[in-house]
Structure 1
Amino acid sequence: MATKEDFDKRNIIESISELWELLSPTEQEYLMENIRITCLHKNEIIYQTNEYPQFLMCLLKGKVKIHMDGVGGRDQIIRLINRKGLFGFRAAFAGEKYLNAASAFEDSVICMIPINVIKKLIVRNTALAIYFIKQLSTMLGIADVRTVNLTQKHIRARLAESLLSLKEKYGVNKDTLTLDISMSREDLANLSNMTTSNAIRTLSSFAQENIIAIDGKKIKIIDDEKLRNISEMG
Structure 2
Amino acid sequence: MFYNIVFKHVMGRKAKEIIDLSSSLADIWRVLSEEERDLIRKNARFVHYKKNEAIYIEEEQPQDLMCLLKGKVKIFKNGVGGRVQIIRMIRPIQYFGYRAYFAREPYVTAASAFEPSTVCLISMELIEEMLRKNGNLALLFIQMLSCDLGVADNRVVNLTQKHVRGRLAESLIFLKESYGLEEDGATINIYLAREDLANLSNMTTANAIRTLANFVNERIISLDGRKIKIIDEDKLLKISKIG
Q: TM-score range by the shorter chain?
A: over 0.9
Q: Which amino acid aligns with 2:68?
A: L
The Cα shift of 1:73 comes to 1.2
1:97 has 2:106 as partner: yes
Match of 2:116 in 1: 107
1:121-200 matched pairs, under 5 angstroms:
121-200=130-209
1:1-234 matched pairs, under 5 angstroms:
5-6=10-11, 9-10=17-18, 13=21, 17-234=26-243
* Corresponding residue SS for 1:191: helix
Q: Which amino acid aligns with 2:56?
A: Y
The Cα shift of 1:11 comes to 6.8
Is this contact kept in 1: 2:68–2:119, CA < 8 A?
yes
CA distance in 1, matches of 2:234, 2:139: 38
Cα distance change of structure 1 residues 98 and 223 upon mapping to structure 2, 3 Å threshold: same
Question: TM-score, normalised on structure 1?
Answer: 0.96
Structure 2, unaligned stretches of length 5 or more?
1-6
Moved segments of 4+, more than 2 Å = 2-17
Cα distance change of structure 1 residues 47 and 13 upon mapping to structure 2, 3 Å threshold: farther
* Corresponding residue SS for 1:210: coil
Question: TM-score, normalised on structure 2?
Answer: 0.92
* Corresponding residue SS for 1:21: helix
CA distance in 2, matches of 1:220, 1:74: 28
* Corresponding residue SS for 1:52: coil
Cα distance change of structure 1 residues 3 and 66 upon mapping to structure 2, 3 Å threshold: farther
Is this contact kept in 2: 1:68–1:99, CA < 8 A?
yes
Match of 2:4 in 1: none
> How many equivalent residue pairs?
233
User: What CA RMSD, in Å, does the superposition of the two structures yield over aligned residues?
Assistant: 1.7
Q: Which amino acid aligns with 1:174?
A: E
Is this contact kept in 1: 2:61–2:107, CA < 8 A?
yes
Cα distance change of structure 1 residues 12 and 202 upon mapping to structure 2, 3 Å threshold: farther
Is this contact kept in 2: 1:156–1:202, CA < 8 A?
yes
